[in-house]
Amino acid sequence: MSDYVARLTFANGKTLELVGPADITKETTEAIVNAANSSLLGGGGVDGAIHRAGGPSILADCRRIVAKIGTLPAGKAVITTGGRLAAEHVVHTVGPIYRGGKQREAETLASCYRESIRVADDHAIHSLAFPSISTGAYGYPIHEAAAIAIKAVIDSLPDTNHVQLVRLVLFDIADCKMYERAAEKLSRELPENSVTFENAS
């Protein structure tokens, strides 16, 4: 477990935590999210780390999904076993490749978070950890991605039947600061008494 950086607690008891610097493959939430590519056959960054740590059963599930539905479009999500990971499941989503911001990248990125939460909720998962989708190899500017990610989670949480905790797991300290700033700003825009913002850094 890492130290948390910040936490938003909503009036309904659901929480959004920002933690880091941390490695998502060590997370003990029921599911973790993979920043995959459309082939679902693995890659570098978080994707490589998750497949290495979780072992071949994750790839075997991914191959079965591709055989059934073909490649996974950006903004969508599917679920597999977590293999040897502490997390029981991996939700795979495909972020947008950033091409200047005028190709619906923001909508697609928000959809990654919403769809992943929806898929997890459909599988009766209570806790889910995300990496910072699209902000590595896919080049999404982190300050914009942070606000989109947090807003998408805030918008999704009221509708979940099972998901109670969403954790955003940030790989380095600069990313932690960026997400923390975005969370504080967005929490101030919510109706009074609907959310508590705590900051532990």
Binders of ligand AR6 among 159-198, rule CB under 6 A?
A: 169, 171, 175
Determine if 134 is a binding residue for ligand AR6 (CB under 6 A): yes
Which CB sits closer to ligand AR6, 155 or 172?
A: 172
- Cα–Cα distance between 49 and 45 in angstroms, integer? 6
Do 180 and 31 contact (CB within 8 A), yes or no? Answer: no
Q: Which of 10, 45, 184, 190 binds ligand AR6 (CB under 6 A)?
A: 45
- Cα–Cα distance between 154 and 116 in angstroms, integer? 13
Do 157 and 14 contact (CB within 8 A), yes or no? Answer: yes
- Cα–Cα distance between 183 and 146 in angstroms, integer? 8
Do 49 and 25 contact (CB within 8 A), yes or no? Answer: yes
Q: Which of 117, 133, 146, 168 binds ligand AR6 (CB under 6 A)?
A: 133
Which CB sits closer to ligand AR6, 36 or 195?
A: 36
Region from 44-52, 100-108, 117-125, 148-156 binding ligand AR6, contact rule CB under 6 A: 44-52
Determine if 80 is a binding residue for ligand AR6 (CB under 6 A): no
Do 89 and 123 contact (CB within 8 A), yes or no? Answer: yes
Region from 35-43, 55-63, 119-127, 146-154 binding ligand AR6, contact rule CB under 6 A: 35-43
Determine if 46 is a binding residue for ligand AR6 (CB under 6 A): yes
Active site residues: 47
